[in-house]
């Protein structure tokens, strides 16, 4: 019925052609989600268009001064405006649930219906001898029904003069559903638990300043309870991931954040200095190399959920610190990890949505297993028509073929990247990233990456030049990266040394170029850090690491997917922001 | 003896790289030959078998690499991609542990994998191995007559299996005549060779010592002196060797995982939500400590590593989360000793509408429940005074002792501590008290530090069993709320166990005006030269102005908790890869 009401309001089409009405009604169930999208989009638009309604600084200061006076007033009456404790008997949601069948206008006054609640006042209407307050706690809202006669002493006056929207109140009383159907606590005593000094943003327009929403997340959460829901879902997802892997015997471990050498990925690390050791330390850019040491040590299934740090650009998809789960299982190969990825993502989707067909930013995503598994070669061939298996070893010729096939419409940045590819494997990957990645909306395992770009993956057991590696893509975004782990210490050393060589070459080029375009400069700046060999890791491999597969999965991106969030900032409680106020 | 050549792998790698590439190309061409079974074929030019223990470690490494290279050149892959195990070693023990002596179940086919930590042979037709997997051990009895290899092949292959190698095997279960649970393999394959000579195992697999290793449980004492690998530097720097050779060490880290998991379940069941707050921030607040500083390149700005989780978690309570917690890494740029490392793990939780009395009850329940579940009793044994002294007993039976800081200090030190501690006079009084008892206080002697030293000397020393020291003076923590009935004090407690602080908790200060004043007082200490005094966090004060409900919060050190339950007097025992001083 809710859906129908909305249709009436938003669609004159239904009225104009009543013959379709019945049909529309019949589709009610399936059209509801669509409607939800439309309405949220509309709200978002109005939010953006409306001029800022946040109170100006002078207003804020005035409110603050008035409320500080109230603080003094309360203290002069012997009341503490910052209470110590409140015993709650129920949360708002519990009451709504227990008394859902209470009839309009009905009251329950018995001893067994005396309740006590606490929360923030988010709305208030006061009449002569009656006041209605809306109280919100972290479970939901409930109305406080305050009658002058029922409150002790001067409490009604206090309520009218000293309580503001934003204050945190504890209240106790009996239960009543108003004639209008609002479940209420009929208050016989209350206590101001925390006097708020600053006004909340306008209730109806929320927080308009997007930057402020992230910077003062708590205000955003007070104004928009659905923001808090994202973080509840995030907690739910974390719990579900842990449950899934632990039920398979994985043990959680903690490996160092501060390291002598940052390895396991190609990324610019943060550097810090330890005073008492008198040396530089790097913040980890992956947990991989230490978790593999655990396999050498005899753990057969380990995982770590932890913060990773990369000193790189900030965007809607990148925050300098983010959370991953990395897991390693002895005696298995990358096929095992594909099953694991499917298992984790579907379990989380079921925990959050209760179903496997979900909506992400207007695209319907089907998470039903099994997911498509296709090699990078085949996907590139499918999308671009280029068959890399038929290309000769001549890199120059290969680049010409690529540019001929996909060059039209490419921007100069992509063209430069293609020109700069040092090997056929890099070229294949570049074409994949440009042409295929954005098209992989439904869950897809991309298999068998070139060896040149996979320094920690085991050579493919059947195809020379490739590795047993996959990445999982959903909605055009990489969600997981996994391989049959390289266990040969000699091969590993050679590959890591090659990586250092390549990096140093890039760095040397960057140093030699003093002028150039802004873009070039940025690119150069990107490689101006040191990459060192983690010798201890190589020694560990020499002691023998069992055949194993491992996977890293980006938890922030998974939360984005499952909460329909467009930006990583929506799923990180306190993201790093570009400009500081 | 061969030429003393450095065992450094750099020198090996150039040649090894070329050879290895060649081998890999060949491998690709001969993909048919890559079947696992082919791995069993022996390599002709095997280096002569010598008594491995007599060989110099560098020579040993070179021999093994040479053998590896030859294997690759002959088109074999010494590092197979996968080995299908049908059960873990522990499951094997569970399932077949009750077999009778001499009983064999020949019609069952089991595949297991693990590391060989002991090898014996009585003839070229019979080899014994100790196979270790996921913290458990069984015997492998490889007999030529059970093998699907012929006798020559069998002898050749098994003579090449070395202590430390990871092997996979298929065979049937049984108990030897001596009653040892064993697997009798029909096939055995090396999955990853161990190129280094392992430190000598001093304890044989059958000795009682090894048995007791396997039976260590949380809450009982350990004896690292009995470990196969004893050298502390090696144990911490190469933890994988420690885990491999000292089975108890794996259990320490499994216990650590259980402790964290217990905390999570306990809090989840009370409706707490787990959240993640930033590890890198613009100001480092919430504790008294020196932070790590780093630099964000693109923003061109200085960032601090968090020294506590407190301020962000309180912001979330302001945002409407009534019960939140985070278990996360915290960083402090300070010296390292037996109980301090630059990074460690904290669990902090915040509970709206509760006060510090509630949290004393809650943490009592959490800790006593955890100790009981993990050890089976409320009492644990702990080498509180180091491994060379007798272990002490610590009793977690609730309720824990509670002592009032000022009252107890007054009576124990026979001092009449001034009520107003913010004055110069009070500072002088405490300074004189410290001098009188010959208690050293590092400069600058702020009132906070002097009190801290006195408490350390007179009260903490008495706290072996869990003890709450409660009601600290205001000067000792700017984030704790003033006591509702005792002027000058705060509603705070610290929980001490074995003289060490394990938890710090308080009714949270939520009056923004008072919070600003407290920060201002910290500034005074800073100006006196106390660099660790807390800095004003303006964004936190603003958040308080939106209203923090009455809330109590608690922080508990996961590392210290793990130390207690695993009889580890050194925090490095419970940290997988602890920070170490650079090797000289």
pLDDT digits (tens, 9 = 90+) for B539-561: 999 999 999 999 999 999 999 99
| Min Cα–Cα distance to chain A from B376, Å | 22
A331 vs B276: CB contact, 8 Å cut-off?
Answer: no
* CB-based contact A71 B513, cutoff 8 Å: yes
What per-residue confidence (pLDDT) applies to A41?
33
First to last CA, chain A: 46
Inter-chain touch A277–B582, beta carbons under 8 Å: yes
| Residue B387 sits at the chain A interface (C-beta within 8 Å) | no
pLDDT band at B523 (very low <50, low <70, confident <90, very high): confident
Give the nearest chain B residue to A329 (CA atoms).
B82
pLDDT in tens, A242-298: 999 999 999 999 999 999 888 888 899 999 999 998 999 999 999 999 999 999 999
Instruction: Output B33-36 pairs: Cβ under 8 A, ≥24 positions apart.
Output: B33/B75, B33/B76, B34/A461, B34/A462, B34/B77, B36/B80, B36/B83, B36/B189
Closest residue by Cα to residue A39 from A83, A69, A9, A80: A9
pLDDT of A16 reads 35
Q: Which of B77, B83, B68 is nearest to B168 (CA)?
A: B83
Q: What is the mean pLDDT of residues B556-568?
A: 97
Q: In this predicted model, what pLDDT tens digit does every residue of B83-97 receive, in sequence order?
A: 999 999 999 999 999
Task: Give the pairing of strands A469-474 and A477-484.
Answer: antiparallel
- The answer to whether the CB atoms of B192 and A462 lie below 8 A apart is no
On chain B, the residues whose CB falls within 8 A of the CB of A137 are 320, 322
Which residue among A228, A306, A321 places its CB closest to the CB of B278? A321
Could you tell me the pTM of the whole model?
Answer: 0.88
Give the tens place of pLDDT for each residue, A408-447. Answer: 888 889 999 999 999 999 999 999 999 999 999 999 999 9
CB contact under 8 A, B250 and A297: yes
User: Mean pLDDT of all residues in chain A?
Assistant: 86
Residues 470-499 of A with CB under 8 A from B: 484, 487-491, 493-494, 497
Residues A366-422: tens digit of each pLDDT: 999 999 999 999 999 999 999 998 887 889 999 999 999 988 888 889 999 999 999
pLDDT of A18 > 50? The answer is no
Nearest to B83 among A195, A306, A547 (CB): A547
> What mean pLDDT, rounded, does chain B reach?
88
Q: From B246, which residue of chain A is nearest by alpha-carbon distance?
A: A297
Least trusted range by pLDDT, from A393-397, B99-103, B210-214? B210-214
B305 and A CB contact within 8 Å: yes
Contact: A257, B343; criterion CB under 8 Å: yes
Mutate to test the interface with A, among B91, B549, B551, B571 (most CBs of A within 10 A): B549
- pLDDT for position A516: 53
- Percent of chain B at pLDDT exceeding 70: 88
Chain B residue whose CA is closest to A200: B546
Given CB atoms, is B81 within the 8 Å cutoff of chain A?
Answer: yes
A298 → closest Cβ in B84, B134, B582: B134
CA atoms within 13 A on the CB side of B346: 31
Average pLDDT on A21-32 reads: 35
Mean pLDDT score, B165-173 = 97
Residues 132-171 of B with CB under 8 A from A: 132-135, 164-166, 168
Ordered DSSP codes for A485-508:
BP--HHHHHHHHHHHHHHHHHHHH
The nearest alpha carbon in chain A to B321 belongs to: A138
Nearest C-alpha neighbor of A507 from the set A531, A527, A533, A532: A527
pLDDT score, position A579:
63
pLDDT at residue A32, as a whole number: 33
Q: Report yes or no: A100 at the B interface, CB cutoff 8 Å.
A: no
Rg for chain B, CA atoms, rounded:
30
Which residue of chain A has the CA closest to B32? A462
CA distance B322 to chain A (A): 6
Nearest CA in chain A to B25: A464
Q: How many CB atoms lie within 10 A of CB A581?
A: 7
- Nearest CA to B501 out of B446, B537, B459 is that of B459
Which residues from A are below 8 Å from B82, CB to CB?
A: 331-333, 484, 547, 549
Shortest CB distance from B82 goes to which of A137, A268, A547? A547
How far apart, in whole angstroms, are the C-alpha atoms of residue A281 and residue A283? 7
Report how far apart the first and last C-alpha atoms of chain B are (Å, whole number): 29
Q: Which two tokens mark B575?
A: 């940290």
- pLDDT value at residue A208: 65
**B528 — pLDDT class (breaks 50, 70, 90):** confident
Contact B320 A138 (CB under 8 A): yes
Q: What is the mean pLDDT of residues A535-545?
A: 96
Residue A23's pLDDT band (boundaries 50, 70, 90)? very low
Q: What is the pLDDT of residues A149-160, one digit of tens each?
A: 998 878 899 999
| Nearest alpha-carbon partner for B538 in B233, B335, B315 | B315
- Which of A424, A469, A435 lies closest to A449 in space, CA to CA? A469
Kindly list the residues from chain A whose CB atom is less than 8 angstroms away from the CB atom of residue B549. 86, 118, 120, 168, 193-194
Neighbouring C-beta atoms of residue B478, cutoff 10 Å: 23
Using the beta-carbon criterion (under 8 Å), do A166 and B547 form an inter-chain contact?
yes
Beta bridge partners of B504: B494, B555
Give the rounded percent of residues in chain B with a pLDDT score beyond 90: 73
Distances (CA, A) of A14 to A4, B9, B84, B395: 10, 78, 62, 74
Query: What pLDDT, on a 0 to 100 scale, did the predictor assign at position A517?
Result: 57
Report the pLDDT value the prediction gives residue B536, as an integer from 0 to 100. 84
pLDDT of A30 reads 35
């Amino acid at each position: 019925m809710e859906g129908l009401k909305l249709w009436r309001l938003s669609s004159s089409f239904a009225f104009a052609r009543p013959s379709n009405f019945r049909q529309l009604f019949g589709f009610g169930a399936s059209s509801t989600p669509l409607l939800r999208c439309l309405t949220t989009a509309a709200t978002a638009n109005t939010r953006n268009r409306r001029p800022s309604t946040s109170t100006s600084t002078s207003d804020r200061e005035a409110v603050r001064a008035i409320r500080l006076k109230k603080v003094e007033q309360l203290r002069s009456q012997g009341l503490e405006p910052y209470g110590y404790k409140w015993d709650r008997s129920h949360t708002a949601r519990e009451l709504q649930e227990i008394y859902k069948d209470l009839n309009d206008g009905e009251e329950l006054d018995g001893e067994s219906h005396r309740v006590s609640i606490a929360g923030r006042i988010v709305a208030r209407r006061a009449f002569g001898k009656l006041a209605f307050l809306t109280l919100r706690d972290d479970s939901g809202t409930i109305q406080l029904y305050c009658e002058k006669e029922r409150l002790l002493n001067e409490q009604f006056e206090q309520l009218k003069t000293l309580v503001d929207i934003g204050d945190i109140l504890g209240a106790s009383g009996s239960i009543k559903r108003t004639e209008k159907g609002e479940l209420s606590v009929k208050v016989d005593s209350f206590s101001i638990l925390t006097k708020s000094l600053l006004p909340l943003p306008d209730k109806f327009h929320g927080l308009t300043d997007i930057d402020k929403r992230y910077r003062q997340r708590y205000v955003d959460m007070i104004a928009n309870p659905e923001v808090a829901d994202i973080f509840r879902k995030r907690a739910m997802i974390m719990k579900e991931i842990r449950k899934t892997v632990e039920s398979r015997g994985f043990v959680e471990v903690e490996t160092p954040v501060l390291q002598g050498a940052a390895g396991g990925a190609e990324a610019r690390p943060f550097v810090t200095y330890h005073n008492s050791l008198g040396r530089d330390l790097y913040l980890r850019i992956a947990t991989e190399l230490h978790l593999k040491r655990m396999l050498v040590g005899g753990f057969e299934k380990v995982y770590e959920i932890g913060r990773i740090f990369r000193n790189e650009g900030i965007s809607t998809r990148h925050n300098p610190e983010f959370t991953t789960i990395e897991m390693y299982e002895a005696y298995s190969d990358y096929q095992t990890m594909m099953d694991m990825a499917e298992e984790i993502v579907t379990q989380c989707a079921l925990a959050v949505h209760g179903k496997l067909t979900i909506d992400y930013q207007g695209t319907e995503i089907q998470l039903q297993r099994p997911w498509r598994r296709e090699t990078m070669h085949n996907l590139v061939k499918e999308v671009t028509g280029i068959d890399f298996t038929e290309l000769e070893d001549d890199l120059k010729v290969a680049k010409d073929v690529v540019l001929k096939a996909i060059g039209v419409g490419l921007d100069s940045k992509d063209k430069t990247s293609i020109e700069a590819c040092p090997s056929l494997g890099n070229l294949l990957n570049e074409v994949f990233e440009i042409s295929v990645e954005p098209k992989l909306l439904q869950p897809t395992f991309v298999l068998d990456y070139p060896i040149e770009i996979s320094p920690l993956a085991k050579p493919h057991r059947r195809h020379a030049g490739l590795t047993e590696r996959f990445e999982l893509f959903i909605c055009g975004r990489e969600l997981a990266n996994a391989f049959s782990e390289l266990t040969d210490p000699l091969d590993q050393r050679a590959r890591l040394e090659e990586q250092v060589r390549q990096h140093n070459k890039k760095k040397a080029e960057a140093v030699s170029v003093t002028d150039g375009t802004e873009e070039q400069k940025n690119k150069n700046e990107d490689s101006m850090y040191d990459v060192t060999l983690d010798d201890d890791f190589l020694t560990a491999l020499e002691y023998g690491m069992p055949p194993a597969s491992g996977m890293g999965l980006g938890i922030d991106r998974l939360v984005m997917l499952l909460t329909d969030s467009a930006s990583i900032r929506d799923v990180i409680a306190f993201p790093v922001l570009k400009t500081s106020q | 003896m061969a030429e003393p050549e450095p065992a450094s792998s750099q020198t090996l790698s150039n040649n090894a790289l070329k050879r290895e590439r060649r081998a890999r190309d060949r491998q690709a061409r001969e993909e048919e030959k890559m079947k696992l079974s082919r791995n069993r074929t022996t390599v002709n030019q095997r280096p002569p078998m010598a008594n491995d223990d007599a060989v110099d470690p560098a020579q040993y490494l070179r021999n093994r690499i040479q053998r590896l290279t030859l294997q690759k050149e002959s088109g074999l892959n010494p590092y197979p991609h996968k080995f299908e195990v049908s059960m873990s070693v522990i499951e094997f023990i569970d399932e077949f542990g009750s077999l009778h002596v001499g009983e064999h179940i020949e019609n069952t086919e089991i595949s297991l994998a693990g590391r060989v930590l002991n090898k014996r042979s009585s003839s070229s037709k019979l080899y014994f191995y100790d196979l270790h997997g996921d913290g458990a051990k069984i015997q492998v009895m490889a007999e030529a007559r059970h093998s699907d290899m012929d006798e020559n092949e069998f002898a050749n292959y098994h003579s090449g299996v070395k202590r430390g190698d990871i092997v996979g095997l298929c065979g049937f279960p049984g108990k030897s005549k001596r009653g040892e649970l064993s697997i009798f393999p029909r096939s055995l394959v090396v999955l990853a060779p161990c190129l280094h000579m392992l430190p000598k195992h001093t304890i044989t697999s059958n000795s009682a010592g090894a048995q007791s290793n396997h039976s260590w449980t949380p809450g009982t004492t350990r004896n690292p002196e009995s470990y196969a690998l004893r050298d502390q530097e090696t144990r911490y720097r190469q933890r994988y060797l420690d885990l491999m050779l000292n089975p108890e060490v794996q259990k320490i880290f499994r216990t650590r995982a259980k402790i964290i998991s217990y905390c999570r379940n306990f809090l989840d069941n009370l409706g707490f939500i787990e959240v993640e707050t930033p590890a890198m921030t613009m100001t480092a607040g919430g504790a008294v400590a020196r932070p790590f500083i780093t630099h964000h390149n693109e923003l061109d700005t200085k960032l601090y590593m968090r020294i506590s989780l407190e301020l962000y978690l309180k912001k979330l309570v302001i945002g409407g989360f009534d019960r939140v917690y985070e278990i996360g890494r915290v960083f402090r740029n300070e010296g390292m000793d037996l109980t301090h490392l630059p990074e460690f793990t904290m669990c902090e939780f915040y509970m709206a509408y509760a006060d510090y009395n509630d949290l004393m009850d809650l943490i009592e329940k959490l800790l006593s429940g955890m100790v009981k579940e993990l050890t089976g009793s409320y009492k644990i044994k702990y080498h509180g005074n180091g491994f060379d002294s007798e272990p002490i007993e610590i009793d977690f039976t609730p309720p824990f002792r509670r002592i009032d800081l000022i009252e107890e200090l007054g009576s124990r030190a026979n001092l009449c501590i001034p009520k107003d501690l913010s004055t110069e006079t009070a500072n002088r009084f405490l300074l004189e008290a410290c001098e009188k008892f010959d208690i050293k206080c590092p400069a600058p002697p702020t009132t906070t530090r002097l009190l801290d030293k006195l408490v350390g000397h007179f009260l903490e020393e008495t706290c072996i069993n869990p003890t709450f020291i409660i009601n600290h003076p205001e000067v000792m923590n700017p984030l704790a709320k003033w006591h509702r009935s005792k002027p000058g004090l705060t509603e705070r407690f610290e929980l001490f166990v074995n003289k060490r602080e394990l938890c710090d908790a308080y009714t949270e200060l939520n009056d923004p005006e008072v919070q600003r004043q407290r920060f201002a007082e910290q500034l005074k200490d800073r100006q006196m030269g106390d660099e660790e005094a807390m800095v004003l966090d303006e964004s936190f004060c603003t958040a308080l102005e939106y209203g923090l409900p009455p809330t109590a919060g608690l922080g508990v050190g996961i590392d210290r908790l793990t130390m207690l339950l695993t009889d580890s007097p050194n925090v490095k025992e419970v940290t997988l890869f602890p920070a170490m001083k650079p090797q000289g």
